[in-house]
Amino acid sequence: MSTLRAHRPEELKALTQSLLSPGYAWEVGQVREKGKGAVTYALGMPVR
């Protein structure tokens, strides 16, 4: 991952808003581990 392309969760939520469609869901979040940096993620998943 390039840190030049890293986004905050709020930015990823805004970016995925234009991708909303029936049958598809987006999850955006951030995982932190003590003593390490945070990992921000965006997962696109089909809804069954």
Give domain limits for the chain: 3-46
Structure tokens at 40: 């921000």
10-27 CB burial, b ≥16 within 10 A, e <16: eebeeebeeeeeeeeeee
- Helix H or strand E segment including 9: helix 9-17
Q: Per-residue pLDDT averaged across 41-48, rounded?
A: 91
2 has a pLDDT exceeding 80: no
What global pTM score does this model have?
Answer: 0.72
Q: Which of 17, 16, 14, 12 is nearest to 41 (CA)?
A: 12
As a whole number of angstroms, the distance between CA 42 and CA 34 comes to 21
3 has a pLDDT exceeding 70: no
